[in-house]
Amino acid sequence: MTLRFIGTTSDDGDCPTLYDIEETDEILVQGERETDPEHLVQLRDVKESETFVRVPRSLLTRYAPRSDAPELQPFASVSGLFRDFKHTAWRLETRRGYASDRNSPKWARFLAGEDISRDRDNAWRENVRAQTAQGKRFERVRLVDESPTQGQEFLLASAPGNVAAGEDIRNLTRAQAQELRLPDYDFWLFDAKILARFAFDDEDTTLGVYVTEDPAEVLAACQARDAAWHHAVRTQEFAGRVRSPM
Protein backbone atom coordinates (compact mmCIF):
# COMPACT_ATOMS: atom_id res chain seq x y z
CA MET A 1 0.00 0.00 0.00
CA THR A 2 1.26 3.45 -0.89
CA LEU A 3 0.92 6.83 0.76
CA ARG A 4 -0.60 9.80 -1.06
CA PHE A 5 0.37 13.25 0.17
CA ILE A 6 -2.76 15.22 1.10
CA GLY A 7 -1.43 18.46 2.52
CA THR A 8 0.50 20.32 5.17
CA THR A 9 0.24 23.61 7.03
CA SER A 10 4.02 23.84 7.39
CA ASP A 11 5.84 26.54 5.44
CA ASP A 12 9.27 24.95 5.85
CA GLY A 13 8.60 21.47 4.48
CA ASP A 14 8.53 19.72 7.85
CA CYS A 15 5.63 18.38 9.90
CA PRO A 16 2.67 18.43 10.43
CA THR A 17 1.35 16.59 7.38
CA LEU A 18 -1.55 14.36 6.37
CA TYR A 19 -1.28 11.32 4.06
CA ASP A 20 -3.93 9.06 2.61
CA ILE A 21 -3.14 5.33 2.93
CA GLU A 22 -4.40 4.21 -0.46
CA GLU A 23 -6.62 1.13 -0.70
CA THR A 24 -7.73 1.71 2.90
CA ASP A 25 -10.00 4.17 4.70
CA GLU A 26 -7.15 5.37 6.94
CA ILE A 27 -5.22 8.64 7.19
CA LEU A 28 -1.61 8.82 8.37
CA VAL A 29 -0.76 11.86 10.52
CA GLN A 30 2.77 13.25 10.82
CA GLY A 31 3.44 15.61 13.70
CA GLU A 32 5.36 16.24 16.88
CA ARG A 33 5.27 13.30 19.30
CA GLU A 34 3.18 13.95 22.42
CA THR A 35 5.47 13.83 25.48
CA ASP A 36 3.58 15.83 28.11
CA PRO A 37 3.21 13.44 31.09
CA GLU A 38 -0.02 15.07 32.21
CA HIS A 39 -1.55 14.40 28.80
CA LEU A 40 -0.20 10.87 28.48
CA VAL A 41 -1.73 9.69 31.74
CA GLN A 42 -5.16 10.85 30.54
CA LEU A 43 -5.11 8.77 27.35
CA ARG A 44 -7.45 5.77 27.33
CA ASP A 45 -7.23 2.22 25.95
CA VAL A 46 -3.65 2.62 24.78
CA LYS A 47 -2.04 -0.35 23.03
CA GLU A 48 1.69 -0.92 23.25
CA SER A 49 2.02 -0.37 19.49
CA GLU A 50 0.33 3.05 19.55
CA THR A 51 1.91 6.49 19.66
CA PHE A 52 0.46 10.00 19.63
CA VAL A 53 1.24 13.15 17.67
CA ARG A 54 0.17 16.77 17.87
CA VAL A 55 -1.26 18.56 14.83
CA PRO A 56 -2.86 22.01 14.54
CA ARG A 57 -6.62 22.19 14.23
CA SER A 58 -6.17 24.17 11.00
CA LEU A 59 -4.55 21.14 9.34
CA LEU A 60 -7.61 18.98 9.97
CA THR A 61 -10.00 21.80 9.08
CA ARG A 62 -8.28 22.39 5.77
CA TYR A 63 -7.68 18.83 4.62
CA ALA A 64 -10.03 16.48 6.43
CA PRO A 65 -12.28 14.64 3.92
CA ARG A 66 -15.71 16.21 3.68
CA SER A 67 -17.33 13.64 1.43
CA ASP A 68 -17.13 9.97 0.54
CA ALA A 69 -14.08 8.95 -1.47
CA PRO A 70 -14.82 9.17 -5.21
CA GLU A 71 -15.04 6.00 -7.27
CA LEU A 72 -12.66 5.23 -10.11
CA GLN A 73 -14.16 6.29 -13.45
CA PRO A 74 -13.00 5.77 -17.04
CA PHE A 75 -11.00 8.71 -18.33
CA ALA A 76 -13.65 9.12 -21.04
CA SER A 77 -16.06 10.22 -18.32
CA VAL A 78 -14.30 13.60 -18.09
CA SER A 79 -13.79 14.15 -21.83
CA GLY A 80 -16.57 16.74 -21.94
CA LEU A 81 -14.79 18.91 -19.38
CA PHE A 82 -12.06 19.72 -21.90
CA ARG A 83 -14.71 21.55 -23.94
CA ASP A 84 -17.01 22.79 -21.22
CA PHE A 85 -14.58 24.32 -18.73
CA LYS A 86 -14.94 28.09 -18.40
CA HIS A 87 -11.46 29.41 -17.69
CA THR A 88 -8.53 27.02 -17.08
CA ALA A 89 -7.67 23.37 -17.53
CA TRP A 90 -4.44 22.69 -15.60
CA ARG A 91 -2.44 19.45 -15.56
CA LEU A 92 0.34 18.11 -13.33
CA GLU A 93 2.35 15.26 -14.91
CA THR A 94 4.57 13.39 -12.47
CA ARG A 95 5.39 10.04 -14.06
CA ARG A 96 8.60 8.96 -15.74
CA GLY A 97 6.73 7.63 -18.74
CA TYR A 98 3.26 6.86 -20.09
CA ALA A 99 2.07 3.73 -21.86
CA SER A 100 -0.09 5.89 -24.13
CA ASP A 101 3.06 7.59 -25.44
CA ARG A 102 4.92 4.34 -25.99
CA ASN A 103 1.92 2.95 -27.89
CA SER A 104 1.53 5.98 -30.14
CA PRO A 105 2.73 6.02 -33.79
CA LYS A 106 5.11 8.87 -32.91
CA TRP A 107 7.11 6.71 -30.49
CA ALA A 108 8.88 4.68 -33.22
CA ARG A 109 9.61 7.86 -35.14
CA PHE A 110 11.04 9.44 -32.00
CA LEU A 111 13.30 6.43 -31.40
CA ALA A 112 14.43 6.67 -35.03
CA GLY A 113 15.54 10.26 -34.44
CA GLU A 114 12.82 11.94 -36.50
CA ASP A 115 11.50 15.40 -35.68
CA ILE A 116 8.13 14.93 -33.96
CA SER A 117 7.73 18.52 -32.85
CA ARG A 118 5.46 19.76 -35.63
CA ASP A 119 2.96 17.02 -36.45
CA ARG A 120 -0.38 17.83 -38.03
CA ASP A 121 -3.25 18.71 -35.73
CA ASN A 122 -5.18 15.86 -34.16
CA ALA A 123 -8.49 16.01 -32.28
CA TRP A 124 -6.76 17.13 -29.07
CA ARG A 125 -4.91 20.05 -30.64
CA GLU A 126 -7.95 21.09 -32.66
CA ASN A 127 -9.93 21.36 -29.42
CA VAL A 128 -7.10 23.28 -27.75
CA ARG A 129 -7.16 25.79 -30.61
CA ALA A 130 -10.93 26.12 -30.36
CA GLN A 131 -10.95 26.66 -26.61
CA THR A 132 -7.97 29.00 -26.43
CA ALA A 133 -9.51 31.07 -29.23
CA GLN A 134 -12.28 31.80 -26.71
CA GLY A 135 -9.74 33.04 -24.16
CA LYS A 136 -9.57 29.82 -22.14
CA ARG A 137 -6.22 28.44 -20.96
CA PHE A 138 -4.69 24.98 -21.24
CA GLU A 139 -1.67 24.71 -18.94
CA ARG A 140 0.63 21.87 -17.83
CA VAL A 141 3.62 21.34 -15.58
CA ARG A 142 5.69 18.24 -16.31
CA LEU A 143 8.25 16.85 -13.89
CA VAL A 144 11.61 15.83 -15.33
CA ASP A 145 14.29 13.77 -13.61
CA GLU A 146 17.88 14.99 -13.39
CA SER A 147 18.73 12.47 -16.11
CA PRO A 148 15.54 12.56 -18.20
CA THR A 149 13.91 9.24 -18.92
CA GLN A 150 13.11 8.20 -22.46
CA GLY A 151 9.47 9.02 -21.81
CA GLN A 152 10.36 12.50 -20.60
CA GLU A 153 12.60 13.07 -23.62
CA PHE A 154 9.67 12.09 -25.84
CA LEU A 155 7.42 14.67 -24.19
CA LEU A 156 10.05 17.39 -24.51
CA ALA A 157 10.46 16.54 -28.19
CA SER A 158 6.74 16.51 -28.97
CA ALA A 159 5.69 19.47 -26.80
CA PRO A 160 6.19 22.20 -29.46
CA GLY A 161 3.21 20.89 -31.43
CA ASN A 162 0.92 21.29 -28.42
CA VAL A 163 2.43 24.68 -27.59
CA ALA A 164 1.79 25.85 -31.16
CA ALA A 165 -1.85 24.79 -30.75
CA GLY A 166 -2.21 27.00 -27.68
CA GLU A 167 -1.08 25.04 -24.63
CA ASP A 168 1.30 26.60 -22.12
CA ILE A 169 3.55 23.68 -21.12
CA ARG A 170 6.23 24.16 -18.49
CA ASN A 171 8.72 21.87 -16.79
CA LEU A 172 10.05 21.41 -13.29
CA THR A 173 12.79 19.12 -12.03
CA ARG A 174 11.72 16.32 -9.73
CA ALA A 175 14.12 17.62 -7.08
CA GLN A 176 12.35 21.01 -7.15
CA ALA A 177 8.97 19.29 -6.98
CA GLN A 178 10.06 17.40 -3.87
CA GLU A 179 11.32 20.60 -2.26
CA LEU A 180 7.95 22.20 -3.00
CA ARG A 181 6.18 19.12 -1.60
CA LEU A 182 4.12 18.71 -4.74
CA PRO A 183 1.82 15.67 -4.97
CA ASP A 184 3.29 12.51 -6.50
CA TYR A 185 0.21 11.84 -8.62
CA ASP A 186 -1.12 13.21 -11.92
CA PHE A 187 -4.27 15.30 -12.10
CA TRP A 188 -6.33 17.70 -14.17
CA LEU A 189 -7.84 20.71 -12.39
CA PHE A 190 -10.73 22.44 -14.14
CA ASP A 191 -11.59 26.03 -13.21
CA ALA A 192 -10.06 25.51 -9.74
CA LYS A 193 -13.25 23.61 -8.99
CA ILE A 194 -13.21 20.06 -10.37
CA LEU A 195 -10.30 17.69 -9.73
CA ALA A 196 -9.66 14.56 -11.81
CA ARG A 197 -6.86 12.50 -10.23
CA PHE A 198 -5.31 9.74 -12.34
CA ALA A 199 -4.78 6.10 -11.40
CA PHE A 200 -2.09 4.10 -13.21
CA ASP A 201 -0.91 0.51 -13.10
CA ASP A 202 2.74 -0.55 -12.84
CA GLU A 203 3.09 -0.40 -16.63
CA ASP A 204 2.09 3.30 -16.76
CA THR A 205 -1.32 2.51 -18.25
CA THR A 206 -4.17 4.80 -17.23
CA LEU A 207 -6.75 2.87 -15.20
CA GLY A 208 -9.12 5.81 -14.83
CA VAL A 209 -9.65 8.95 -12.78
CA TYR A 210 -11.10 9.89 -9.42
CA VAL A 211 -13.29 12.95 -9.93
CA THR A 212 -14.19 15.19 -7.02
CA GLU A 213 -15.27 18.70 -6.07
CA ASP A 214 -14.40 18.13 -2.41
CA PRO A 215 -13.13 21.53 -1.14
CA ALA A 216 -10.15 20.04 0.69
CA GLU A 217 -8.97 18.03 -2.33
CA VAL A 218 -9.47 20.96 -4.71
CA LEU A 219 -7.69 23.38 -2.37
CA ALA A 220 -4.67 21.07 -2.14
CA ALA A 221 -4.57 20.86 -5.95
CA CYS A 222 -4.80 24.66 -6.26
CA GLN A 223 -1.91 25.09 -3.84
CA ALA A 224 0.17 22.58 -5.80
CA ARG A 225 -0.69 24.39 -9.05
CA ASP A 226 0.35 27.78 -7.69
CA ALA A 227 3.66 26.49 -6.31
CA ALA A 228 4.52 24.52 -9.44
CA TRP A 229 3.56 27.30 -11.87
CA HIS A 230 5.68 29.84 -10.02
CA HIS A 231 8.86 27.79 -10.39
CA ALA A 232 8.30 25.93 -13.66
CA VAL A 233 10.18 26.86 -16.85
CA ARG A 234 8.60 27.16 -20.29
CA THR A 235 9.19 23.99 -22.26
CA GLN A 236 11.33 25.55 -25.02
CA GLU A 237 13.71 27.09 -22.52
CA PHE A 238 13.79 23.95 -20.40
CA ALA A 239 14.47 21.69 -23.38
CA GLY A 240 17.45 23.86 -24.25
CA ARG A 241 18.94 23.15 -20.84
CA VAL A 242 18.57 19.39 -21.16
CA ARG A 243 21.24 17.44 -22.97
CA SER A 244 19.57 14.48 -24.65
CA PRO A 245 21.07 11.07 -23.76
CA MET A 246 19.96 9.70 -27.14
Rg, Å, the chain Cα set: 21
Tell me: the pLDDT tens digits for 41-76?
888 888 888 898 888 877 877 776 665 678 999 999
Amino acid at 177: A
Distance between alpha carbon 127 and the CA centroid of its chain, in Å? Answer: 22
β-strand pairing of 17-21 with 26-30: antiparallel
Q: What is the reported pTM?
A: 0.76
For 12, list phi and psi in degrees, rounded to 5: -110, 10
Tens of pLDDT, residues 153-184: 999 999 999 999 999 999 999 999 999 999 99
Between the two ends of the chain, the Cα-to-Cα distance in Å is: 35
Work out the percent of the chain whose per-residue pLDDT is above 70. 94
Long-range contact set of residues 163-166: C-beta below 8 Å, sequence gap at least 24? 163/235, 163/236, 164/118, 165/121, 165/125, 165/126, 165/128, 165/129, 165/132, 166/128, 166/129, 166/131, 166/132, 166/133, 166/138
